Structure 1
Amino acid sequence: MIYNAIDRLIAFGLAKGLLEENDVLYTRNKLLYTLGLSDYQGSGEVAECKEELAEILKDILKYAMEEGLVSDSITEQDLFDTKIMDCLLGRPSEIVAKFTALCRKSPKEATDWYYDFSKATNYIREDRIIKDVKWQADSPYGKLDITINLSKPEKDPKAIAAAKKLVQSGYPKCLLCRENEGFAGDMNKPARENHRIIPLTLGGENYFLQYSPYVYYNEHCIILNEGHVPMKIDRAVFLKLLEFTEKFPHYMAGSNADLPIVGGSILTHDHFQGGNYEFPMARAGLRTEVKFKGYEDIRAGVVNWPMSVIRLTGADYRKLAELADKILLLWRGYSDEEVDVYAESDGEPHNTITPIARRRGEDFEIDLVLRNNRTTEEFPLGIFHPHDKLHHIKKENIGLIEVMGLAVLPGRLKGEMDSLRTALLKGEDIRKDEVLAKHADWVDEFMARHKEFNEVNAEEIIRQEIGLVFSEVLTDAGVYKDDENGRKGILRFIERVNAL
């Protein structure tokens, strides 16, 4: 069986363009060595491959477990099948040369190839991504995108136990460091032997392009700094994001903010996120058009969105970055007690911006989302953070992806919502259920609006109500609320920018 699996994997590599005919014997020998085989007893024939990679790797892992090369730990198996896939791949320089040659012809052709390559190498595990639950939900601000993330496997108990025995290493320093390329991984860190990254220059600095292994949206990419340096929002970042959209006009690019609570999960390594995807916020129009003094050629306004967003659109991206920096510098030190915004407390800064860049035809566009991370005794996780009543659905930080209208919800919700649907249809009291009780107040609220709740529409109603919760999450995270006080407040801020 194992020799047949080797032949099928080589056939897969040929079909996906990972290998050429002259690579077959070399690749076979690498696979034999990796699997601890001293000879080859296959047919030597490479048939056309019509099966999914996951099925081939499943057979190889079965053999590896039988021979004691790997245990039944998911973590160990991920480490091992990554090593197997690396046998099919060229050196980083070969991948970079291919991407560069394609990019000269068409940036989109280059990213199309690189995205397909990242899936074919199993760096993006499509068999897991397909398990994610995705839908759209109506809101007062248009359709929001919702996903329940099921593709990122939780560490199994064996992996956790094994990780405790390991000597802790600081190499690579984090999951975004370029040193992850080709890294074998261990029980604490994922294998990246099948990982290849593409060098870029942005703002005269060295960056690298890669895709997220857990693609939350189409062609979800990461642009990471060559150095392990912390996140920082400034004029240089605005320029880099806009320059990236000049190089890859079919991609958007944005950055998490640079402060805890309102930032993303990794603030220690400078990076951006992008992709070939139109987020709900990009589809939102302007609530109010405004003008900025000295920048009359830039179209500007407040976006009709639950968070506080100033949009700038124009032909000269350097001028957009200049105005964005002017807005940022004022916002850093801006306080407005009427909306509970204070720039600092006890010397700790609270104001920053989440920026997102994209193209609008020949024009460039940048959205500046005003953020504030102040906490109080009433709101210890953040004033402008999902409040307690929403934590049963979403408690985590509202970072770049959520800001743009895509909810990435925890995997636990899939099982909870299935159980909730069943319980409601049976008329059970969920307050008596240890797992479902946290949803009880929310259920009472929405069931009062849905007297027609039945077997046919139950799932759709629950999904739409989750969407409304996410809309409230974004509203909580918004500095200036979509009410009279909030609308006046953001216009006061814009007037202050114009007074500079």
Structure 2
Amino acid sequence: MSIFLSINRLVQKGIEVQLIEERDARYVRNQILALCHLTNFVEEQTIHPITESLPDLLEKIVQYAIDEAIIEDVFDDKEIFAANIMNCFLSKPSDIHQKFWKKYKEAPERSTDYFYQLSQHSNYIQTKRIAKNIHFTTTTKYGEMDITINLSKPEKDPEQIKREKAMKSNTSTYPDCVLCPANEGYEGRTGYPARSNHRIIELELANERWFLQYSPYVYYNEHCIVLAEEHRDMKVDRDTFERLLSFVDLFPHYFLGSNADLPIVGGSILSHDHYQGGQYTFAMTKAKEDFSFSLNAFPDINAAILHWPLSVIRLQSEKRNELINVADMILKKWKDYSDQTANILAYTDSMPHNTITPIARKKGYTWELDLVLRNNRTTEEHPLGIFHPHEDVHHIKRENIGLIEVMGLAVLPARLQDELMEMKKFLLHQPHRIETYHQKWAEQIKENYSITEQNVEEIIEHELGQKFTRVLEDAGVFKQNESGKQAFQRFIDHLNN
């Protein structure tokens, strides 16, 4: 296929998916020609409909740029070039912002549908790479857990790694981080992602300016990020509850939650205040109640403890301000709460250990807040955290348990794809190269099941779900046993003192 035909097909695909209109075709084509260092255009017949995906068509033009030495065959060069091409299809931020809120007046779902599709078709959301992820659900005693083996983020090639090492002396600090609003339209550089095709939507949450975008590597349907205008550290406080509920007021078809604001129990980015949400029902959303309880100072609040591996208080009310007041009260009391019999200390010297992972939803006229109690204390026995995945499950996951995992979606490392394949061979008595850290687990599985070619994958998936459940149980501050339930009751009694 010639470069002219590739460009023409990409432009036509942009029209098909409503990125642009027919009237825009010449302009967009000329912009792409300039990026490809082409000064003429040879019209070639385009067959309709165009069966290739937009990322596939884009890859052909990127390959042309490599072949013609316009860019080098290095990850960042390719990302920057591809984002610059797709930016040719996008309107200015103000136009997209106005269209979003115009559609919002019709219905909140229409505005997010529009922006989500735009983010996909512009290749900001990496749909082709995301499709590589392995995803399945598995039954546990807490409900259907989601398991994802993350294969979407490409590995860096040697030249990319070499470049990044050479760039370490680069003192550029713009943008401050990958979540700052300053990323909108930023071309990118070695070691920093391309964002030419990135757009964000301005929101007002609790009298403060925030922005809505989608995750480039979505882990679930309409996985969005809501970020503060100011580059400031993550913080969970009363204002957090105000903002979360303000957001679900605006978009009642979405949930919104915040990672905890302390290391170990927080997410991967604590340097920029942000939340994550979307239109997805997690296992935790559907979790049953272990028991309900009353809060003496807040008789109109429905409060319950969830049957969930982590320690979750669910609050429901049709009175928004009262819900914020009770959530703020629980957060403040939890921050200062210690129970040595449950291994919970609020402080080591002046270092705080207690915080909360909050999640907000709106169901009809009722607001709902889930408060997940977290503690990040470490010991010699558990140097990565007492309430963190313990060493015996590190062969599956040792990273922080952030908001997404808290709600029941495992994001597991790419290495497991090959490692589980070798374990499958081991279970079927075939030649294998099973990792030593999986050996004990694999032997236990072999003892517990009658394994065949037909059921081996189902068994591995089920057992992986049980391991993830253990990961979450390790992160729970009040364990799902009798002593843990008694300790949770002591904290509830403390709330009513």
Q: TM-score, structure 2 length as denominator?
A: 0.97
Structure 1: state its 5+ residue gaps.
none
Deviation of the 1:80 alpha carbon: 1.1
Deviation of the 1:47 alpha carbon: 5.0
Aligned positions of 1:187-336 closer than 5 A: 187-336=190-339
| Number of the residue aligned with 2:135 | 134
The 8 Å contact of residues 8 and 47 in structure 1, kept in 2 or not, is answered as no
- Distance in 1 between the 2:447 and 2:380 partners? 33
* Structure 1 counterpart SS, 2:444: helix
- Distance in 2 between the 1:459 and 1:48 partners? 38
- Distance in 1 between the 2:125 and 2:144 partners? 27
| Number of the residue aligned with 1:438 | 437
Partner AA of 1:160 in structure 2: I
The 8 Å contact of residues 338 and 344 in structure 2, kept in 1 or not, is answered as yes
* Structure 2 counterpart SS, 1:89: coil
> After superposition, what is the alpha-carbon deviation per residue over 1:262-313, rounded to whole angstroms, capped at 9, x for unaligned?
0001001000000000010000011011011132211111001011000001
Deviation of the 1:21 alpha carbon: 2.2
- Distance in 1 between the 2:355 and 2:46 partners? 60
The 8 Å contact of residues 76 and 191 in structure 2, kept in 1 or not, is answered as no
- Distance in 2 between the 1:348 and 1:384 partners? 16
Aligned positions of 1:315-394 closer than 5 A: 315-394=318-397
- Distance in 2 between the 1:161 and 1:104 partners? 50
Deviation of the 1:49 alpha carbon: 3.3
The 8 Å contact of residues 11 and 46 in structure 1, kept in 2 or not, is answered as no
| Number of the residue aligned with 1:398 | 401
The 8 Å contact of residues 15 and 21 in structure 2, kept in 1 or not, is answered as yes
* Structure 2 counterpart SS, 1:272: strand
- Distance in 1 between the 2:266 and 2:379 partners? 18
| Number of the residue aligned with 2:484 | 486
The 8 Å contact of residues 103 and 111 in structure 2, kept in 1 or not, is answered as yes
Aligned positions of 1:104-119 closer than 5 A: 104-119=105-120
- Distance in 1 between the 2:430 and 2:467 partners? 23
- Distance in 1 between the 2:419 and 2:315 partners? 41
* Structure 2 counterpart SS, 1:407: strand
The 8 Å contact of residues 5 and 46 in structure 2, kept in 1 or not, is answered as no
| Number of the residue aligned with 2:32 | 31
* Structure 2 counterpart SS, 1:138: strand
- The answer to which of 319-328 and 50-59 deviates more is 50-59
- Distance in 2 between the 1:497 and 1:120 partners? 49
| Number of the residue aligned with 2:67 | 66
- Distance in 2 between the 1:232 and 1:55 partners? 41
* Structure 2 counterpart SS, 1:268: coil
> After superposition, what is the alpha-carbon deviation per residue over 1:344-382, rounded to whole angstroms, capped at 9, x for unaligned?
012110000000011223211000000000000000000
Deviation of the 1:454 alpha carbon: 1.1
- Distance in 1 between the 2:320 and 2:16 partners? 42
> After superposition, what is the alpha-carbon deviation per residue over 1:55-105, rounded to whole angstroms, capped at 9, x for unaligned?
211221221111001232233212211111111111111111110100111
* Structure 2 counterpart SS, 1:287: strand
The 8 Å contact of residues 75 and 156 in structure 1, kept in 2 or not, is answered as no
- Distance in 2 between the 1:251 and 1:240 partners? 14
| Number of the residue aligned with 1:2 | 3
- Distance in 1 between the 2:51 and 2:155 partners? 31
- Distance in 1 between the 2:143 and 2:23 partners? 53
* Aligned residue among 417, 420, 441 for 1:417: 420
- Distance in 1 between the 2:447 and 2:7 partners? 59
Partner AA of 1:5 in structure 2: S
- The answer to which of 165-174 and 118-127 deviates more is 165-174
| Count of aligned pairs | 494
> After superposition, what is the alpha-carbon deviation per residue over 1:212-261, rounded to whole angstroms, capped at 9, x for unaligned?
00100110000000010101110110111111111000000000000000
Deviation of the 1:143 alpha carbon: 1.1
The 8 Å contact of residues 427 and 442 in structure 2, kept in 1 or not, is answered as no
- Distance in 2 between the 1:427 and 1:415 partners? 15
Deviation of the 1:342 alpha carbon: 0.3
* Structure 2 counterpart SS, 1:214: coil
Give the root-mean-square deviation of aligned CA atoms.
1.3
Q: 1:51 to 1:485 in 2, by over 3 A?
A: same
Structure 2: state its 5+ residue gaps.
none
Deviation of the 1:320 alpha carbon: 0.8
| Number of the residue aligned with 1:93 | 94
Q: TM-score, structure 1 length as denominator?
A: 0.97
Partner AA of 2:492 in structure 1: I
